[in-house]
């Protein structure tokens, strides 16, 4: 396994991050335990979750699964760099609570952190991430809440997710002015087929030294060999997925042909492309099986040549670079 620092922090994390969103709804607790044990054996020390994962509002299903895995002992919690998130609704359907609905108020953040700690059966969170920007809440309020949690030793680092470039710039600048905890990372949608963040978010991450944690690195399956897997009805798919495949079919045909020429699986190429981007810390992988988990490690050894990177950029050209040069002189 390869490791790198998370942004400008001193925290060392694996170049692949284990995503746990499937734990509960699609992956049983027993299978999740096996996947996490195997991830640790492979050297993956970076786990990502969220309080809302589990598809049962207010219950924190996925965090509870991870907490019971930690409770088995054996050094599990000591090895893992644990990242979770706050923002989404955590009130129970039978008991609506506006202060547990979406947002980043001080009350929401502090109570959300304490609830996550209980579910995760740990005394600290290594990376506490805001799951989405909240422009209805003053920035000094959520920054103060994060500072309180950091002073209490309940969180070590603060990260963001789904922030715009100007949100990152404002957050980092005001944190420095107020001597508040600085963001160390941003988690965004980023893959070969979804490159909008190259306009503003990536330049902001680069300027302020934030590590980028891409979610959906395979484009919800589009970059994982969608054409080959769906050919002849070999893979069940939704009408929406079929629509997405057909919309990008010419690109996917060129992409999968290039992967075949390289002798590499499309999913491995997609991950290797992300790993080749200097600002990327660790793409989030969400394996459902041990084979998928072990297979993801192939991307770490797949070195794409400048020629191959150029061909991939031709197939999936992105926005044309950073703003404003991407659309202006």
Q: What is the pLDDT of residues 176-228, one digit of tens each?
A: 999 899 999 999 999 999 999 999 999 999 999 999 999 999 999 999 999 97
Average pLDDT, integer, range 157-173: 97
- Torsion angle, alpha carbons of 300, 301, 307, 310, to 10: -10
Share of the chain above pLDDT 70, in %: 98
Q: What is the pLDDT of residue 181?
A: 92
Instruction: Please name every residue paired with 50 in a beta bridge, in sequence order, or none if there are none.
Output: none
> Residue 179 in 3-state DSSP?
coil
> pLDDT tens across 236-254, in order?
567 888 888 888 899 999 9
Q: What is the pLDDT of residue 51?
A: 97
Query: Does 128 participate in catalysis according to the annotation?
Result: no
Its pTM stands at 0.94
> Residue 185 in 3-state DSSP?
strand
> pLDDT tens across 114-135, in order?
999 999 999 999 999 999 999 9
Average pLDDT, integer, range 310-314: 97
Residue 235: pLDDT band (50, 70, 90) is low
Which of 212, 126, 103 has its CA nearest to residue 165?
212
CA–CA separation, 220 and 218 (whole Å): 6
b/e per residue, 269-280, with b = 16+ CB within 10 A? bbbbbbbbeebb
Fill in the DSSP letter of residue 210: P
- For 188, list phi and psi in degrees, rounded to 5: -135, 160
Does the pLDDT at position 77 exceed 90? yes
In what helix (H) or strand (E) does residue 46 lie, and over which residues does it extend? Answer: strand 46-48
Q: What is the pLDDT of residue 85?
A: 98
Average pLDDT, integer, range 313-329: 94
Q: What is the pLDDT of residue 236?
A: 56
Q: What is the pLDDT of residue 232?
A: 57
Does the pLDDT at position 233 exceed 80? no
The domains found in the chain, sorted by start residue, are 3-221+265-308 (3.20.20.100)
**CA angle, corner 262, sides to 257 and 265, nearest 5?**
75
Fill in the DSSP letter of residue 13: E
> pLDDT tens across 262-292, in order?
999 999 999 999 999 999 999 999 998 898 8
Average pLDDT, integer, range 311-320: 96
3, 53, 190, 327: the active-site residue: 53
Please check whether residue 188 is in contact with residue 259, taking contact to mean a CB–CB distance below 8 angstroms: no
Average pLDDT across the chain, whole number:
94
């Amino acid at each position: 396994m390869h490791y790198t620092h998370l942004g400008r922090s001193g925290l060392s994390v694996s170049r692949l991050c284990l995503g746990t969103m499937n734990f509960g709804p699609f992956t049983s607790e027993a299978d999740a335990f096996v996947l996490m044990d195997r991830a640790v054996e492979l050297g993956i020390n970076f786990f990502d979750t969220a309080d809302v994962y589990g598809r049962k509002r207010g219950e924190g299903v996925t965090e509870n699964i991870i907490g019971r895995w930690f409770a088995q002992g054996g050094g599990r919690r000591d090895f893992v760099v644990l990242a979770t998130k706050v923002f989404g609704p955590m009130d129970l359907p039978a008991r609506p609570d506006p202060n547990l609905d979406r947002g980043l108020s001080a009350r929401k953040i502090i109570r959300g952190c304490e609830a996550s700690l209980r579910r995760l059966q740990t005394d600290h969170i290594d990376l506490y991430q805001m799951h989405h920007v909240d422009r209805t809440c003053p920035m000094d309020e959520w920054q103060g809440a994060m500072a309180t949690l950091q002073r209490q030793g309940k969180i070590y680092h603060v990260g963001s997710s789904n922030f715009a470039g100007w949100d990152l710039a404002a957050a980092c600048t005001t944190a420095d002015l107020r001597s508040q905890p600085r963001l160390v990372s941003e988690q965004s949608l980023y893959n070969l087929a979804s490159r909008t963040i190259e306009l503003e978010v990536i330049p902001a991450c680069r300027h302020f030294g934030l590590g980028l944690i891409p979610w959906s690195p395979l484009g919800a399956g589009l970059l994982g060999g969608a054409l080959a897997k769906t050919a002849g009805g070999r893979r069940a798919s939704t009408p929406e997925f079929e629509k997405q495949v057909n919309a990008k079919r010419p690109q996917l045909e060129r992409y999968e042909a290039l992967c075949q020429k390289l002798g590499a699986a499309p999913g491995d190429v997609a991950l290797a492309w992300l790993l080749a981007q200097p600002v990327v810390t660790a793409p989030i992988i969400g394996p459902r099986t041990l084979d998928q988990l072990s297979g993801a490690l192939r991307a770490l050894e797949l070195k794409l040549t400048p020629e191959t990177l150029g061909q991939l950029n031709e197939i999936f050209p992105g926005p044309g670079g950073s703003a404003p040069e991407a659309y202006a002189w």
